[in-house]
Amino acid sequence: MVNFGATNVTGERPVNNSTIVFDQFSNSFCDQTLNDLRKAIVENLIKNPKTFKGGKDDVKKWLEEIEHLLDVAHIQDSTRLDLISYSLRGDALEWFKNNRSSLSSWSVFVSELKKAFTSSFHEELAFKTLESYTQGENQSIRNFFNEHVINTIPHSPPACKPYPQPDKEQAMYKLMQEFLKAGLISESHSPYAAPAILVKKKDGSYRFVVDYKKLNLITIKDSSPLPNMEDTIRKLGQCYNYFSKLDLKSGFYQIPINNADKAKTAFVTPFGLYQFNVLPMGLKNSPPTFQKVMTDTLKSCRKFSLVYLDDIIVFSKSFDEHLYHLERVLLALQTKHLILNPPKCVFATNQIDYLGHTISQRHITPMKEKIEAILQIKEPRSLAQANKFIGALSWYRKFIPHFATIAAPIHAVTNLTKDKRHKFKWNYAQSKAFHDLKRMLITEPLFLHYPVEDVSLMLTTDASGIGIGGVLQQEVNGEVHNLYYHSQLMTPCERKYSAIEKEALAIYKCFARMRTFMLGRNIILRTDHCPLCHIMEKTVRNARVDRITHLIQEFNIDKVIHIKGRENCLPDFLSRYSNENNDDLFEIDYGLESKDNSNTLISSPSKLIPTSSSSRDNKTFCTNS
Spatial separation of the C-alpha atoms in residues 333 and 246, rounded to whole Å: 11
Checking if the pLDDT of 141 tops 50, the result is: no
Pair (173, 303) in one structural domain: yes
Residue 360: is its pLDDT beyond 60?
yes
| CA 577 to chain centroid | 23
Sequence-distant (≥ 6) Cβ neighbours of residue 425 within 8 angstroms: 413
- CB-based contacts of 255-260 (< 8 A; 24+ apart in sequence): 255/141, 255/144, 255/146, 255/147, 255/148, 255/279, 255/289, 255/290, 255/293, 256/141, 256/142, 256/144, 256/147, 256/148, 257/147, 257/148, 257/150, 258/147, 258/148, 258/149, 258/150
* Same structural domain, 176 and 232: yes
Confidence (pLDDT) at 620? 33
Give the Cα separation of 121 and 351 in Å (integer).
15
To the nearest 10 degrees (0 to 180), the angle between helices 106-117 and 77-84 is 40
Mean pLDDT for the stretch of residues 332-341: 82
C-alpha Rg value of the chain to the nearest Å? 32
Do 393 and 302 share a structural domain?
Answer: no
pLDDT at res. 577: 61
Average pLDDT over residues 555-576: 81
Q: Which of 189-198, 385-394, 576-585 has the lowest mean pLDDT?
A: 576-585
- What is the distance of C-alpha 164 from the center of its chain? 37
What is the structure's pLDDT at 612? 33
* Longest distance between any two alpha carbons in the chain, whole Å: 125
Does residue 195 have a cis bond before it (omega within 30 degrees)?
Answer: no
What confidence tier does 268 reach under pLDDT thresholds 50, 70, 90? very high
Angle at alpha carbon of residue 58, lines to 55 and 59, rounded to 5°: 90
Domain that holds residue 386: 366-440
pLDDT at 623: 33
176 plus 309 within the same structural domain: yes
Check residue 625 and give its pLDDT.
38
The C-alpha atoms of residue 294 and residue 254 are separated, in whole angstroms, by 11
The verdict on residue 125 lying in a domain is no
Domain end: 341, 360, 379, which one?
Answer: 360
Whether 297 maps to a domain, the answer reads yes
pLDDT 10s digits, 3-44: 333 333 333 333 344 333 434 444 454 555 656 666 666 676
Classify residue 594 by burial, with Cβ atoms within 10 Å: 0-12, 13-18, 19+: middle
Q: At what angle do helices 106-117 and 119-131 cross, to 10 degrees?
A: 60
**CATH code, domain carrying 392:** 3.30.70
Tell me the pLDDT tens digit for each residue of 200-210. 777 777 888 89
Give the whole-angstrom CA distance, residue 314 versus residue 323. 10
At 375 the pLDDT is 77
383's enclosing H/E stretch is helix 383-392
Domain boundary among 440, 463, 485: 440
CA distance linking residue 609 with residue 135, whole number of Å:
9
Q: From CA 546, how far away is CA 212, in angstroms rounded?
A: 12
Average pLDDT of span 328-337: 86
Q: For residue 64, is it within any domain?
A: yes
Considering the domain architecture, whether residues 427 and 531 belong to the same structural domain is answered as: no
How distant is the alpha carbon of residue 139 from its chain centre?
31
Q: Are residues 408 and 321 in the same domain?
A: no
pLDDT digits (tens, 9 = 90+) for 500-535: 999 999 999 999 888 888 888 899 999 999 999 988
- For the cut 80, the answer to whether the pLDDT of residue 570 exceeds it is no
Amino acid identity for residue 592 in this structure: L
Quote the CA–CA distance of 126 and 141 in Å, as a whole number: 27
Of 318, 343, 360, the one marking the end of a domain is 360
- 330 and 392 in a single domain? The answer is no
Amino acid at 568: N
**Does a structural domain hold residue 194?**
yes
Cβ atoms 360, 317 nearer than 8 A: no
Is the distance from CB of 574 to CB of 306 less than 8 angstroms? no
The CA–CA distances, whole Å, from 493 to 294, 449, 497, 598 equal 39, 34, 7, 26
**Does 316 lie in the same domain as 173?**
yes
Torsion, Cα of 69, 72, 77, 83 (10° steps):
-40
How far apart CA 188 and CA 179 sit, in angstroms, is 14
Do the domain assignments include residue 11?
no
Q: Do 90 and 40 lie in a common domain?
A: yes
The pLDDT of residue 486 is above 80: yes
- Mean per-residue pLDDT of the chain: 77
Residues 218 and 350 in one domain: yes
Q: What is the CATH number of the domain that holds 269?
A: 3.30.70.270
Contact 414, 390 (CB under 8 A): yes
Kind of pairing between the strands at 556-562 and 357-359: unpaired
Flag whether pLDDT at 583 surpasses 60: no
Assigned domain for 426 exists: yes
In a domain, 6, yes or no: no
Residue-level pLDDT at 546: 87
3-state secondary structure 553-570: CCCEEEEEEECCHHHCHH
pLDDT at 494 over 70: yes
Do 213 and 317 lie in one domain? The reply is: yes
Dump pLDDT digits (tens) for 454-475.
Answer: 889 999 999 988 888 889 999 8
Which pLDDT score, from 0 to 100, does residue 605 have?
30
Give start and end residues of each alpha helix (H) in 443-577. Answer: 499-513, 515-518, 543-551, 569-576
Closest CA to 82 of 64, 70, 65: 70
Position 459 scores a pLDDT of: 95
The strand pairing partners of 475, in sequence order, are 480
Dist CA 25 CA 495 (whole Å): 80
338 and 200 together in one domain:
yes
- 10 located within any domain: no
Which helix (H) or strand (E) covers residue 267, if one does? strand 267-269
Residue 619 has pLDDT above 60, yes or no: no
The pLDDT of 41-70, averaged and rounded, is: 73
Domain count, the chain: 4
